[in-house]
Structure 1
Amino acid sequence: MSIRIAKRARHVKSRREMDSEKRATVLVTNDDGIDAPGLRALVHSLVATNLFNVQVCAPDSEKSAVSHSITWLHPIAAKQVHIDGTTAFAVSGTPADCTSLGISKALFPTVPDLVVSGINKGSNCGYHIVYSGTVAGAREAFFYGIPAISVSYDWVKGKSGVHDFTLAAQACIPIISAVVVEIKNQKFPQSCFLNVDVPNNAANHKGYKLTKQGNSIVKMGWKQVTSETEEQKMSSDMTNIDTQTPKDSCTSSVSPEQLLFAREVRGYVLDHEDTDHKSLQEGYITVTPLAALSQAEVDCRAYFRDWLQSVTELPSSSAL
């Protein structure tokens, strides 16, 4: 009887291993840090589907709005942490570092099929995409030919709650699953990655909408402050969130001879065309294909084509 039970156990184990091999591997990163509720909600939702092998490689602290910065001059540390259903590491680097390390086979034994970066606390539309560490986490995978998705939730101060991240994650699971199918069928385009934004009212979104990156942006300015000023912290979409920086957290090392300045919101530039930000505000889950190149508009290229012709015809400075 014991031999039969042992054989059955080996058979069950081998089936589980086979099922695991068949499942796509998804690497999750973000810029809000490995303990952020957005990442935890996304990971929990992915694990709950039982469709994916989930790996996590995320910053050990918040790295909002670091854009595509990388660590170059010194090593970064990776510490394994426990997140149910995953193999997870907290890394002392940027989102781009985390993706780069996660896909390198130096940390995990295999290259993931898909990288998902998020869920960010705050939308990433328009020009804010340039600032976003969340988007950079996906873009880094794109650089190396690995399909990727960045995901953000349009957090609104005083209205949004932590549970909204779970709603946002569940709303994005169909997109992630569909992308994995395209990857397995070798149909997912290699010339782009996807940036997904979930509206504030995630439970009652209007559906998925293909959009293009607009030029919306929060205009930022500077004001001089003192060590006694409590400054609001900015999220990666440049909007105010609930948390505040402790009074002396960034001023204890400031000498009397130094001037201290803090960013402040001066205004907004909003899209009126059919772009990512406008569609998001209308209640859609926006799906925006992005690439790494920032091409100038056609009229600019035409202008400088003529302008450069005139530059080459001018006499050199040595001849003046």
Structure 2
Amino acid sequence: MSAIILISNDDGYRANGIASLLNFVQDLGITYTIAPDQEQSSCGHALTLHRPLRVTKEGKHLWSVDGTPTDCVHLGLRSTVLPQQPKLVLTGINHGSNLGDEITYSGTVAGAMEACLLGVPSIAFSCLSAGHSRNDLEALRLWVHHIVTYVLKTGLPKGTFLNVNFPDPRRSKIEGLRVTTQGTRVYGAEVVEKSDPRERRYYWIGGDVIDQPTEPGSDVEAIESGFVSVTPLHLKLTDHKMVTALKQTNLECNHLASSLLSNNDISDSLQNLTNVIPLERP
């Protein structure tokens, strides 16, 4: 029986990346595409709740939505838009990387995350740099096919999805594939302030990468070395070390009373926490 595959992205249904992704996996099952009607980059895991969503049929097995990638995936899995229930969700191929801290902003990653939350295996695909033609992306065909085939055969653990990043195929040959951890990318917090012809202020939020520490085994290191990065991500965000540290303080209690937390108790609690995370005292 053929796999039912839902494809989405955050660059919009007309983007070269999603067209290439669809082309790469068509032989692996029955594919449906539900994607935003315009670019939704950096929208994160936003779900539209304050207005109705409009869905437009753009072609055979292709729909556009005036919403976010999360909206698109949610509609594909929980509405009657599609005639069949997808068993795998793919997002991308994003025009630009989603490495390290970038995943918290990414609409591409959020689409895969939404599928994961709804119990469907998913993979997010991104490619370093932007402006790729479909011919540029052709170098990724075998890698995409290899990864999707693997997931179709083996599945993924509940609550886990894959975040895949490719080096820019225009720069050099891909060296191989590495299973990685989430790395770190630090952006400058740049906000450009200007005024329009009516002297009303407006702002552009931006900033370039100013630091990306080399962490062995990370997605950032793999991409810098010319490898495809495959990072398993899960939705459990609890900091277990911090839970243990906080349980050793007086923060946890059954009730509050004026005598429960004296100044000395608070001081001792802060002192204990400084072993885990530095705290500034007033």
**Unmatched segments (≥5 aa) in structure 1:** 1-21, 229-254
Q: Which stretch of structure 1 is more off in the superposition, 214-223 or 302-311?
A: 302-311
- Establish whether residue 75 from structure 1 lines up as the match of residue 47 from structure 2: no
Partners of 2:221 and 2:107 in 1: how far apart? Answer: 22
TM-score w.r.t. structure 2 length? 0.83
Q: Equivalences for 1:162-311 in 2 at 5 Å?
A: 162-183=134-155, 188-201=156-169, 204-227=173-196, 255-256=198-199, 258-265=200-207, 267-274=209-216, 275-296=218-239, 298=241, 300-309=242-251
Give the distance between the partners of 1:172 and 1:182, measured in 2 at CA: 16
Q: Secondary structure at the match of 2:188?
A: strand
Alpha-carbon distance in structure 2 between the residues aligned to 1:224 and 1:105: 42
Which residue among 1, 6, 19 is the counterpart of 1:40? 19
Structure 1 pair 200/104, CA: closer, same or farther in 2 (3 Å)? Answer: same
Deviation string 1:283-320 (CA, Å, 9 cap, x unpaired) is 1111101112223262x33443334449973159xxxx
Describe the superposition over 1:236-270 as per-residue Cα deviations: whole angstroms up to 9, x where unpaired: xxxxxxxxxxxxxxxxxxx53x3222123265220
Residue 51 of structure 1 corresponds to 28
- The one-letter amino acid paired with 1:285 is V
Pair 23,145 (structure 1): closer, same or farther in 2 beyond 3 Å: same
TM-score scaled by length of structure 1: 0.74
1:81 positional shift = 1.0
Distance 1:99 1:45, change over 3 A: same
Deviation at 1:69, TM superposition (A): 0.4
Gaps of 5+ in 2: 264-282
Percent same amino acid at aligned positions? 29
Q: Deviations over 1:123-162 (max 9, x none)?
A: 10111100000000000000011000000001157xx554
Residues 54 and 87 of structure 1 are in contact (CA less than 8 Å); yes or no, is this contact kept in structure 2? Answer: yes
Contact 1:196 1:285 (8 Å CA) reproduced: yes
* Structure 2 CA distance for partners of 1:70 and 1:310, relative to 1, 3 Å: closer
Deviation at 1:113, TM superposition (A): 1.1
Partner of 1:127: helix, strand, or coil? helix
Report deviation, 1:93: 0.9
Q: Does the C-alpha gap of structure 1 residues 283 and 72 become closer, same or farther in structure 2, counting only changes over 3 Å?
A: same
Superposition deviation, residue 217 in structure 1:
3.0
- Give 1:40's aligned amino acid: A
Aligned residue type for 1:60: D
Give aligned pairs, total: 256
Q: Which amino acid aligns with 2:49?
A: W
Q: Which residue identity lines up with residue 190 of structure 2 in the other structure? A: G
1:204 aligns to what SS in structure 2?
Answer: coil
1:142-157 correspondence to structure 2 within 5 Å: 142-155=116-129
Query: d(CA) in 2 for partners of 1:262 and 1:61?
Result: 19
Structure 2 distance, partners of 1:94, 1:215, is 25
CA distance in 1, matches of 2:134, 2:213: 28
Q: Root-mean-square deviation (CA), in Å?
A: 2.3
Assess if the C-alpha contact under 8 Å between 2:35 and 2:64 holds in 1: yes
**Is 1:314 matched with 2:261?**
yes
What amino acid is the match of 1:260?
Y
Match of 2:102 in 1: 128
Distance 1:55 1:168, change over 3 A: same
1:93 is the counterpart of 2:72: no
Identify the residue that residue 13 of structure 1 maps to in structure 2.
Answer: none
Match of 2:42 among 38, 45, 65: 65
Instruction: Give the conservation status (yes or no) of the 8 Å contact 1:42–1:166.
Output: no
Residues 25 and 114 of structure 1 are in contact (CA less than 8 Å); yes or no, is this contact kept in structure 2?
yes
